[in-house]
Amino acid sequence: MATTTHILGYPRIGEKRELKFAQEKYWRGEINQAELKHVGATLRDKNWNIQSEAGLSFTTAGDFAWYDHVLATTLLLGHVPKRHATGFPDLDTLFTVGRGQSKADCGCSGAAASDMTKWFNTNYHYIVPEFSKDDTFEVSWPQLFEEVNEAVKAGHSVKPVLLGPLSYLYLGKEVEEGFDRLALLPRLLAAYQAILAKLASQGVEWVQIDEPILSLELEDKWADAFKLAYQVIRCDIKVLLTTYFDSVSDTLDKIVGLSVDGLHVDLSAAPEQLEEVVEKLPDDWVLSAGVVNGRNVWRSDLSEQLLRLQPVKERLGDKLWIATSCSLLHSPVDLDLEPALSEEVRSWFAFAKQKVSEVALLGRALDGDKNAILACDTYSQPIKDRKTATHVNKPQVQSRLNSISASLAQRSAPYLERAVHQAEVLDLPLLPTTTIGSFPQTGEIRVQRNAFRNGQLSEADYKQALKGHIADAVKRQEALDLDVLVHGEAERNDMVEYFAENLDGFQTTKFGWVQSYGSRCVKPAIVVADIEREKPITVEWSTYAQSLTRKKMKGMLTGPVTILCWTFPREDISRKQIAQQLALALRDEVTDLQSAGINIIQIDEPAIREGLPLKKRDHDEYLKWAVDAFKISAAGARSETQIHTHMCYSEFNEIIDSVAALDADVITIETSRSNMELLKAFEDFNYPNEIGPGVYDIHSPNIPTEAWIESLIKKAAEKIPPQRLWVNPDCGLKTRNWAETEAALSNLVSATKKLRAELDL
C-alpha cells in the first residue's frame, strides 16, 4: 500500500495576498459579503487542487480562516465574548471580535477587540479566547462543515483539521477571578462530540486534531485532562492527534494512552524524538512524520530524510505517514512567483507549493519508486553544495565574532548615572509623549515605492518624495505637540525587510508573503550568508528629520533578535551566531547615529519573547545570548544617548529579569488591550528604568477617548512612578490612516497634559 502523505495546513492568504485585499475592501464597504466569500472559496479550491495534483493522499480542509484559526474555533463553538454576542454568530461577528467595534460602526457604545498574542514561538498571532465560569458551548458556525462539503463535492479525499479542546482552553484566559477555565472542559467536550459526529455524518474517515500544547512542559492537571477528554469525544471517526514546534518527550507516556488512532510529531523542530516515539507507538496507531519544515523556506534534503526514514518504513509499513512539520501557513506560497532570483538561489528554496511536492516525492521514494529515489538525490544536491560555498561564510565577519567579549555588551555607565546625563541633555517634561516609530504608509507612498522599484521613478525623485513625506510627518507631530518625534519611516516597506535589504547576507523576495494576523501580512527576508553592514542605513533620514525641528528626533532601528525571529534563518549555523552578526552591524549604526547628533535611539525588540524555546529548561541559554545580542548593539551608545526598546504582545512575567538585563533606558510595551494588566510584572519586579505603557490599541480602528487614555495613564502611575513613565501608543501606526492617527494622538497629548498639570500640583 502506498505511503499516506498529507500536510497540516496550507497558506490561506493567496499567492498574491488576494484574501487580504478582499478583506480590506469588505471592511471599507467596497464589496459585499457574498463577493468576499467568493474570494475565499476560490482560494480554497486552488489550495485543494495543488494538494491533489501533487499526489497527496489527503487534502486538508478547515485550515482556511477569515482572521485566524483560533478565532474560527471560537465561532464554531458559539463562544463569542458577551460584548460581541448580538445574535447568531456570523462573519461580521468574527471581524468585530478580532478588530473591535467603534460607536460609529454599531450605533452603540462600541466594543473592544479581544486580546491578541503570538501563536507559540512564531510571528503568527491569534485572538485569545475569553472564559467565564458560566460559559456554554454550542456548535454555531457552519464554516468547517461547509468547507468539508465543498472539498468532497470537488472530488477530494478530505481530512479536516480542528484545534483540540485542551489547546483551545489552554490558549485562552479567564476574564473573572477565582475561576479555573479547565473546569469548563466537560461542557466543551459535549460540543466537540457534536462536531465529530457531524463530520462523521459527512463521510469523513480521518480528522486531524491539533493539540500543540503537548509539546510544552504541561502542568499535571492539564496533561492528565487529555485522557478523559479523548475518551469522551471518541467516536467512529479516526483521530490523528497532531503536535508541532517541539518534542513530545515530556508528554509521550500520557499520549500513548489516549483513545486516538495516530500521532503526528514535528521531526524538523525536534528530530531527536523519532526513535523514542517509534519505540512507544501503540501497534495499531499510525505515525505521521513531520519531516518537511513548514516554518522555513530551505529545500528539504530528501535524500537524507529517505535514508533516515527507511528503517521506520520497514518497521511500521503503511502505518508511517509523511507530512509537513506543521501548517504551511508560516511559509510563503509559491517560489514560482520569484523569477528574479538567480538559478543558484532558487535551487536552495521551497515555498508552500513546493513543500507539498516534497512530501509527495518523499512518500513515493519510501515506497521504492526508483525514479522518485533518483529525484530525491538530484533535488538535495544544491543544499549539499551550498554548505561548502565560499561566498556564504565571510572571514571578516567571523573575525569580528571571534573578538566578542563580555565588555562589548556593557554601557559606559550604569542606568542611574546615564539618567542624570540624559535629563540634562534632553530636557523633557514629566510624562513625555512619543510614538513607537512608524506613521501611516499611505497609498501615495506605496505608489512611489513601486514606481521606484519598477524604474518609473528615478532615485533622486524618489528620495525627494520621501523627504516630503518625512517633512509632513514632522509638521503633523509638531502640531500635535508631541515631545519626542520620529521621522515616520516612509522609506521602509517593513521594519525587518528594510534592514534586510540594506545589510549584506540577506535575500529578499517579491511575493514571499506570510500572514501575521487578520489581513496583516509580512514578507520575511532570508538569511543566506554571513551578515555585515556595508554603509549607514538610517542616518540620512533621521538627520534630515532632525533638521526640520527643534524637538528631539528619535532614531529608529530594529533589534538583532527581532530581525532574526522575523526572517527565515540559515539552517547551517546557530541562531545565536546570526544574532551576534546582526548585533555587530547594528552597533555600527548606533555609533553613526549618535555621531550625527541623534541622541535618542530606539532599538525595537518585539520578538524577544516569541523567540523563547517552548521548553522552559531551554529558556536560560536562549535568553543569555538574546540579551547579549541586544546589549552588544546598544553598548556603543554614550551615557547621554538614550536607548529605547519596544516590545509588543508579550507576557513578561517569565522573562522580566531578562527584560531588565537589556538595560534599555526606556522600554515601551503593549498594555492597552490587557487594560494595563501586563504592568503587574514590572511592578512586582520593581523594574528600575523608564517605561512607556501603550495607552491605546493601534490594531483597532477605534479612536480612544481622552478619558480612556487618562484612565490608563492613571492605572500605570499606580504601578510605576510618574517620573519614570512615558506616554505612547502600543505599537507603530503604519497600518492606520492619518485621520485616525491624528485624532488618537490628539487625545493622547490632551490627556497627558491634563495629568501632567495635576501631578505638578
- Please answer whether residues 642 and 666 qualify as being in contact, where contact means their C-beta atoms are separated by less than 8 angstroms: yes
The answer to whether 326 is a known ligand-binding residue is: no
Q: Is 631 annotated as a binding residue?
A: no
* Residue 756 among known ligand-binding residues: no
Does the annotation place 108 within a ligand binding site?
no
CA distance 516 to 161: 20
Residue 18 labelled as part of a binding site:
yes
State the SS3 of 481-516.
Answer: CCCEEECECCCCCCCCHHHHHHCEEEECCCCCCEEE
646 is in an annotated binding site: yes
First to last CA, the chain: 82
Cβ-contact 88, 354 below 8 angstroms: no
d(CA 441, CA 466): 11
Does 106 belong to an annotated binding site?
no
118 is in an annotated binding site: yes
Distance of CA 564 to the CA centre of its chain: 12
- Residue whose cell numbers read 538567480: 342
Phi/psi for 438 (5° steps) reads -95, 150
Q: Is 391 annotated as a binding residue?
A: no
376 marked ligand binding residue: no
The three-point CA angle 688-694-700 to 5° equals 160
In this structure, how many other beta carbons lie within 10 angstroms of the beta carbon of residue 713? Answer: 23
The annotation status of 436 as a binding-site residue, yes or no, is yes
DSSP annotation of 318 reads G
Q: Which of 185, 256, 255 is nearest to 223 (CA)?
A: 255
> C-alpha grid cell for residue 505?
547576507
- Structural contact between residues 463 and 518, judged by C-beta atoms closer than 8 angstroms: no
Residue 673 known to bind ligand: no
To the question of whether residue 670 is assigned a binding role by annotation, the answer is yes
Would you say 530 and 111 are in contact if contact means Cβ atoms under 8 Å apart? no
Which is catalytic among the residues 69, 79, 487, 699?
A: 699
Pairwise CA distance, residues 351 & 681, whole Å = 39
CA dist 330 and 515 (Å) reads 7
Contacts of 460 (CB under 8 A, 6+ apart): none
489 is in an annotated binding site: yes
**Does the annotation flag 146 for ligand binding?**
no
Is 699 an annotated catalytic residue? yes
Per the CB < 8 A criterion, the answer to whether 512 and 523 are in contact is yes
Q: How far apart are CA 665 and CA 149, in angstroms?
A: 56
Q: Is 610 annotated as a binding residue?
A: yes
> Is 19 one of the annotated binding-site residues?
yes
3-state SS class at 87: coil
DSSP conformation class of 104: H
CA–CA distance, 65 with 422 (Å, rounded to integer): 48
Q: Residues 6 or more apart from 248 whose CB is under 8 A from it?
A: 214, 215, 255, 263, 265, 273, 277
Q: CA distances (Å), 17 to each of 46, 511, 587, in order?
A: 14, 9, 35
Q: Are the C-beta atoms of residues 66 and 94 closer than 8 Å to each other?
A: yes
Cell 546625563 belongs to which residue? 421
Question: What is the bridge-based pairing of β-strands 173-174 and 130-131?
Answer: parallel
Is 721 exposed, middle or buried, given 0-12, 13-18 or 19+ CB atoms closer than 10 A? exposed
82, three cell numbers:
458577551
Distances (CA, A) of 351 to 58, 193, 258, 324, 331: 19, 36, 34, 12, 6
* Interatomic CA distance for residues 323 and 54, integer angstroms: 13
- Answer yes or no: is 605 a known binding residue: no
Q: Specify binding-site residues for Zn(2+).
A: 646, 648, 670, 731
Q: Specify binding-site residues for L-methionine.
A: 436-438, 489, 604
Q: Specify binding-site residues for 5-methyltetrahydropteroyltri-L-glutamate.
A: 17-20, 118, 520-521, 566, 610
Q: Specify binding-site residues.
A: 17-20, 118, 436-438, 489, 520-521, 566, 604, 610, 646, 648, 670, 731
Q: Specify binding-site residues for L-homocysteine.
A: 436-438, 489, 604
**Which sequence positions are flagged as catalytic?**
699
